[in-house]
Amino acid sequence: MSLLDIFPTALVAAGGNPKTANPPLDGVDLTAVLNDKGTTAPHPILFWKHKTNFAVRDGNWKLVEHNTRGRKQVPIPRWIESLELYDLETDPAERQNLALRYPWITARLRYRYWQWERTLPSPRWHPWDPSASEADPGVDLAEP
């Protein structure tokens, strides 16, 4: 489940249809899950993104990147060092990084994230620069 599922679920509870929303909603209706009638996970795969960090959840696998280098190119053998892979069924506390033990799963989930990221629209603002003064947060307020 995701926070994005709250609005579609509330919309159905109010008699609306989230499938006809324009623009389309990212979340899904969880009414069946809330009524104990859901038999499958509401999302086959989940993605999170914040600045240059991301996470992907696919079944029991969760891939996380805490990218402190920004989007600089990293040589292929070293890219895996910024990634963490966890099997949430056996390690729900995310203590044992399995990225090097299962590089094919790590690469598959990283590729799935890359595919998803390519579907996102470009930001309509400039990222906030923490070194800028409070009077100039680095946000472009001009119309696009």
Max CA separation in the chain (angstroms)? 52
The pLDDT score that the predictor gives to residue 132 is 46
pLDDT digits (tens, 9 = 90+) for 112-144: 999 988 887 777 766 555 554 444 444 444 444
Q: How would DSSP label each residue in 32-79?
A: HHHTT---S-S-SEEEEEETTEEEEEETTEEEEE--SSTT----HHHH
125 Ramachandran zone, left/alpha/beta (phi>0; psi -120 to 50): beta
| Per-domain residue ranges of the chain | 1-42, 44-121
pLDDT digits (tens, 9 = 90+) for 87-121: 999 999 999 999 989 999 999 999 999 998 888 77
Q: Cα separation of 96 and 117, whole Å?
A: 26
Query: Quick check: helix, strand or coil at residue 83?
Result: strand
Q: Kindly report whether the peptide bond that precedes residue 44 is cis, defined as omega within 30 degrees of 0.
A: no
Nearest CA-CA partner of 53 in 1, 127, 137: 127
The pLDDT score that the predictor gives to residue 44 is 76
* pTM attached to this predicted model: 0.64
Predicted confidence band of residue 68 (pLDDT cuts 50, 70, 90): low
pLDDT digits (tens, 9 = 90+) for 6-23: 878 888 888 888 788 777
CA 65 to mean position of chain CA atoms:
11
Using alpha carbons, list the distances in angstroms from residue 137 to 74, 122, 125, 128, 133: 29, 19, 11, 6, 6
Q: Which residues contact 112 (CB under 8 A, 6 or more apart)?
A: 45, 56, 58
Query: What top-level class would CATH report for the domain 44-121?
Result: alpha beta
pLDDT digits (tens, 9 = 90+) for 37-64: 766 777 778 888 887 788 999 999 999 9
